[in-house]
Amino acid sequence: MVTLEDVARHAGVSLATASRVLNGSTRQVGASLRVKVELAAAQLGYRTNVAAQTLARGASNVIGLVVHDLTDPYFAAIADGAMRVAENQGLMVMIGTTHRDPQREIAYVSTLNAQRVRAVLLVGSRVADEQLTRRLREELDRYRETGGRVACVGQDLLGVDTVVPDNRLGAAALARALAGLGHRSFAVLAGPDRLIAPMDRVAGFAGALEELGLPAPLVLHSSFDREGGYAAATQVSGVTCVFAVTDVMAVGALAAFRDRGIRVPEDVSVAGFDDISTLRDLVPSLSTVRLPLAEMGARALEMALAPDEGTGAQVVTGEVILRESTRALG
């Protein structure tokens, strides 16, 4: 294992000089020595020991990313956006997946704190559980007390900089658009009732319907994934339009209707939320609310990295996109 000291000796300079040329300091080093050091480092195959560097500097070049599930394209897109800015800043990223277990999220914050990462990004809906939220906040506060920076993509419940998709507004806009198509009877595939994002989407949707003087939608709960969408859709009947709170769930719903011999959009219209790009080629193409996922991830990391503790929440509003899965009535 070649160390900086080896390089310094080999180049006939001091440790400090070698450090200055190899590991970007602001200090200048004379051209001749600089060359010697670089040569020695190359010949010996020197590689900085980042652990030692981190310890000495008291600051690392790593950021932590905590997501629920990387195979869910929603999280993959957000993570990708964040990773691009990390790359541009020369930061490495450490990822943890919670598989939707809030306890794991807390545990990851603790671990990332131990790693002394420069910042941590929490991506994904908060849960409606005071207890859990409080414990997470405590862990985050502990991390922040010692200089850690935190940002979140989700709901503004943690007291940290947050990029918050306006789920209510987006769902409400979607409801109005659907009503504009002539729909009067709706079902909502609502996902689990302990996650806030789906709850907000349901509330926004139902609220808009109420404002329009339309009957309340049939609300069906299930898991937050493709299977949940499928299961919930099997219970749907007597409505002309179904709103699945995520595109991924909408895919499940589409499959369920297909299996039941119910045509979309002829027999029933279906809309989702998120506008997942991998799913844009579905047939029928999915009406949805587009969220700038990658940008949300990027912005969140930028907030976390900003010199001063940002201003709190940055709201992102979705854009309603009507495609083939919803049709005008009458």
CB of 49 to a copy of itself, least distance (A): 6
x-marked contacts with DNA along 24-53 as a string, rule CB under 7 A: -x-xxxx-xxx-----------x-xx--xx
x-marked contacts with a copy of itself along 25-64 as a string, rule CB under 8 A: --------------------x-xxxxxx-xx----x-x--
Beta strands in 228-323 (DSSP E): 241-244, 269-271, 288-290, 313-316, 319-321
Bond before 73 cis per omega within 30 degrees = no
Q: Name residues contacting DNA, limited to 54-73 (CB under 7 A).
A: 55-58
Count of residues near DNA by CB under 7 A: 30
x-marked contacts with a copy of itself along 133-152 as a string, rule CB under 8 A: ---------x---x------
By CB under 8 A, tell whether 73 contacts a copy of itself: yes
Residue 90's identity, in one-letter code, is G
Cβ proximity to DNA: between 4 and 173 the closer is 4
What's the CA gap between 114 and 99, in Å, rounded?
A: 21
CA distances from 131 to 136, 174, 175, 196 (A): 9, 33, 33, 15
The listed partner (a copy of itself, DNA, none) that binds 93, CB under 5 to 8 Å by sort, is a copy of itself
Binding range to DNA, per CB under 7 A, among 20-28, 198-206, 216-224, 260-268: 20-28
x-marked contacts with a copy of itself along 307-326 as a string, rule CB under 8 A: --------------------
Neighbouring C-alpha atoms within 13 Å toward the C-beta of 99? 0
Angle between helices 4-11 and 31-44 (to 10 degrees): 120
CA distances from 91 to 61, 62, 128, 285 (A): 5, 5, 33, 38
Q: Name residues contacting DNA, limited to 71-100 (CB under 7 A).
A: none
Closest to 30 measured CA to CA, from 40, 41, 18, 42: 18
CB of 34 to a copy of itself, least distance (A): 20
Cβ proximity to DNA: between 61 and 234 the closer is 61
DSSP annotation string for 67-92: ES-TTSHHHHHHHHHHHHHHHHTT-E
What's the CA gap between 206 and 329, in Å, rounded?
A: 20
CB of 199 to a copy of itself, least distance (A): 25
Report the DSSP pairing between strands 186-191 and 218-221. Answer: parallel
Cβ proximity to a copy of itself: between 77 and 296 the closer is 77
Residue 322's identity, in one-letter code, is L
Contact of 98 with 67, CB cutoff 8 Å: yes
The residues binding a copy of itself (CB under 8 A) are: 1, 45, 47-52, 54-55, 60, 62, 69-71, 73, 76-77, 79-80, 83, 87, 92-97, 110-111, 113-116, 142, 146, 226, 251-252, 254-255, 258, 277-279, 281-283
List residues near DNA by CB under 7 A.
1, 3-5, 13-17, 19-20, 22-23, 25, 27-30, 32-34, 46, 48-49, 52-53, 55-58
